[in-house]
Chains A and B, each alone.
Chain A
Amino acid sequence: MIANQTVSAIAGALMLAATASAQEVQQSPTSRTAKPSVTPSNVTQEMLDRAASDRNNFLHTNGDYTQKRFSPNTQITPANVGKLRVAWIFQTDVRESMETSPIIVNGVMYVTTSFSHVYALNAQTGEELWHYKHSLGPITTYCCGPNNRGVAVYEDKVYLATLDAKLVALDAKTGNKVWQSDVGDPELGYSETMAPTAVKGKILIGTNGGEYGIRGFVKAYDAKDGKLLWTFYTIPENSVGVWATKDATGRDMHRNIQAEKDQLAKTGDPYKTLGGGVWQNPAVDLATNRIYFVVGNPSPDLDGSLRPGDNLYTNSLVSLDLDSGKYVCHLQYIAHDVWDLDAVSPPILVDVRDKSGKVIPGVIHGGKTGHVYVHDRKDCSLIRFSDAMVPQENMWVLPTAEGARMLPGANGGVEWSPMTVNPQLGLTYAINLHQPMTYQVQSSPYPGGKLWLGGAFKAIPGEEQWGNITAVDYNTGKIKWQVKTPQPMIGGILATASGLVFTGEGNGRFRAYDAKDGKVLWTFNAGAGVNAPPSSYMVGGKQYIVVGAGGNVQIDFKRGNSIIAFTTD
């Protein structure tokens, strides 16, 4: 009897699953009756390797494996960008925070929305080819919005990571699900908003959850079948470190090392609930077969009393061997962080001058602290850090029960927003926030997958907030130019080989700047916050710039649902 019940339950479940799966993909109205105007094509590893010079496509979340977001396209120039006009607008079904990086493969564009939807579009016309709506499970636990930052493409599949902590492979031609793997348990605070990275048959993915007491990781899955290949925990079993008293810039962090040592003796290493999310894509060094990514804050964010030690590898740049997932090197920016001024913006591989002036392979990262950090790629060591791009005040005052004022506020500096690099000019471009905040500490034990901040960061009512776009010479650390914006900046930025920089604002403005001096060359108002990274591509011999305008949860910018492509006549 029990067996029979089980069989019918399984059969019922299978029927339900089949129904749910069938409903997940919606073919566009036109594709039901007519042949699609363009057919999605395969992406080879060779295409992914040479993406930096591929004028037609935008194949990686951040342009290419180095993550420079530097388009080789030169058709749209400082001279003609003033004539940039809307080519098409596609409206998604989801009017909510939009952080997607459009991916373009031979005339087909893949974009994502909040709540883990994927659309395939004709990149020339905006026509919808298919729409995948992920059936989210009942348990989703996430901080800072139901965002999704895009897909990865590899061979005949499109890869999506979802709010309910799944990794999903879709058939690029149809949007049908091919396989799905669990990445983490959402009931314990794991969720996904980042785009996966596809490389050499692997799909790499990190995790959110630093606000919920997770144990962070980067995982590699087999692109063919979703089998887990390796896991690197961003929190090692010995997370104590060297009891660093100064941050990477040499400033005293006012740690009470003896109190921490006493706590360690009492409660042991806190590694199991220490956080360390990875919010953004790793850069891949194809020459050395290494990846470089940054690790987010420790849990709980503001209360260090429960987590003695440096809390390795939170707030760090980390490098791994791609094949094995084994540790190679790291550099921790802030040990034992109690301000959530963590490392989120994706690192960029670029040749840099070392302290002696010699050009070496480097890696740079824009921090919430407001500094651009420049590292030696060989051993992760810090070569220099830039001038502060935003006001810093009272660093590093410890959070108090009443709330201590310190700048930058907890969103940065540079938030998750990717930077871009123009290697011809030796400049990196970052978008920054200025939000005066107080840091308040309250202690409470691990709550089992619930929000665990250990206090609160609170924007100070009445104090002006603003943002800026900053060009930094990574060979000197000096600021080359800076343009102030009326709102804090969050989203992303793109540079082109023709000497342009594109980025959007929370007030709906999408602008082109002269890469040399920051002069505003073109403005468009999208009607909703442009808080997503732009992409560039070519179809039919014409260059396009595309960006999402959906606003932002974290700063509460006006929501929208548009993907807007621009071109010149």
Chain B
Amino acid sequence: MLHACIRPAAWLTALLALLAATPAPAEGVDEKAQACAGCHGENGVPQQKTMPVIWGQQQGYLYLQLRDFKSGTRKNDIMGPIAQTLERDDMMALAQYFSQKPWPNLQQPRAPAGVAAHALQAMNAVVCSSCHQSQYQGDGTQPRLAGQGKDYLQQSMIDFRNRSRANNPGMSDLMLSISEDDIAACAAYLAGL
């Protein structure tokens, strides 16, 4: 399935056909979820570094992202069309399904001491743990950050910063208050937790 993500257009057509053919949410969640593995991984390890881990992610967060992909407040060429095929119950069922999977270990190294200190100073200044919790495990609609892919984390924070990811202006505001160097340190630190 790796090539699916490399050639999204062809793969997406097949995936949308699969999603459209799957039955109502309660019965079809396994099949619908199977379609997600193409990018997010058969075993929860994403196929590409810019794809997020969704296994073990918070249910409320996953639901809101699907909702936002559907409404267009979060834009993504792959996820937008997929979310269009989903109703609220589908989204909630998928979110629950993936939230109950174990979080995969991406084998990312711990950040060096200097990088960690840099990250903690930036994160303490804007109190990231206020929403993402003390061990960055997330809760409810707040995502887990600990152990998420480093490249995805960094790109997400940059996207918030330049508002190309527009579905959480509060996050954009916070990312604008720290520097891109801070963001790089935060991504390395969080990925290695």
Contact = CB atoms under 8 A, between A and B. Distances in A.
B25 to A, nearest CB: 12
B134 A559 contact: yes
A163 B140 contact: yes
Given A139-B63, A141-B140, A143-B130, A459 B125 contact: yes
A211 B140 contact: no
12 contacts: A97-B134, A138-B140, A143-B130, A143-B131, A144-B130, A445-B169, A447-B170, A453-B169, A453-B173, A456-B177, A459-B126, A461-B125
B59 interface: yes
Contacts of B121: 461
A556 interface: yes
B176 A444 contact: no
Contact of B134 (A142, A453, A556): A556
Given A138-B96, A450-B168, A442 B173 contact: yes
A514 interface: no
Per CB-CB distance, the 4 closest pairs between chain A and chain B, nearest first, are: A451-B170, A140-B140, A444-B169, A456-B177
A518 interface: no
Contacts of A534: none
Contact of B177 (A139, A440, A553, A556): A440
Q: Which of B64, B127, B178 has the most CB of A within 10 A?
A: B127
B174 A554 contact: no
Contacts, number: 103
Contacts of A140: 60, 139-141
B191 interface: no
Given A146-B139, A461-B121, A556-B124, A450 B169 contact: yes
A459 B124 contact: yes
B63 A442 contact: no
A139 B95 CA distance: 11
B173 A456 contact: yes
Contacts of B169: 442, 444-445, 447, 450-453
Looking at chain B's contact residues, is the secondary structure mostly helix, strand, loop, or mixed? helix
Contacts of A448: 73
A136 B168 CA distance: 23
Interface string B141-171: 1000000000000000000000100011111
B130 A456 contact: no
A206 interface: no
Contacts of B73: 447-448
Q: Which of B64, B73, B121 has the most CB of A within 10 A?
A: B64
B76 to A, nearest CB: 17
Interface in A409-444: 440, 442, 444
A451 B175 CA distance: 13
A453 B174 contact: yes
Interface residues of B, number: 35
Interface of A: 96-97, 115, 136, 138-146, 163-164, 186, 211, 302, 403, 440, 442, 444-445, 447-448, 450-456, 458-461, 551, 553-554, 556, 559
Contacts of A97: 134
Nearest to A556: B129
Nearest to A303: B173
Interface string B32-64: 000000000000000000000000000110011
Contact of A138 (B95, B125, B126, B174): B95
Q: Which of B63, B133, B177 has the most CB of A within 10 A?
A: B177
A459 B64 CA distance: 29
B167 A139 contact: no
B93 to A, nearest CB: 11
A164 B173 CA distance: 25
B92 interface: yes
A142 B172 CA distance: 17
Contacts of A142: 140
Contacts of B127: 459, 554, 556
A442 B177 CA distance: 10
Given A96-B133, A444-B163, 20 more contacts: A139-B141, A141-B141, A143-B130, A164-B140, A302-B173, A440-B177, A442-B169, A442-B172, A451-B131, A451-B171, A453-B174, A454-B173, A456-B126, A456-B176, A456-B177, A458-B126, A458-B178, A553-B133, A554-B130, A556-B124
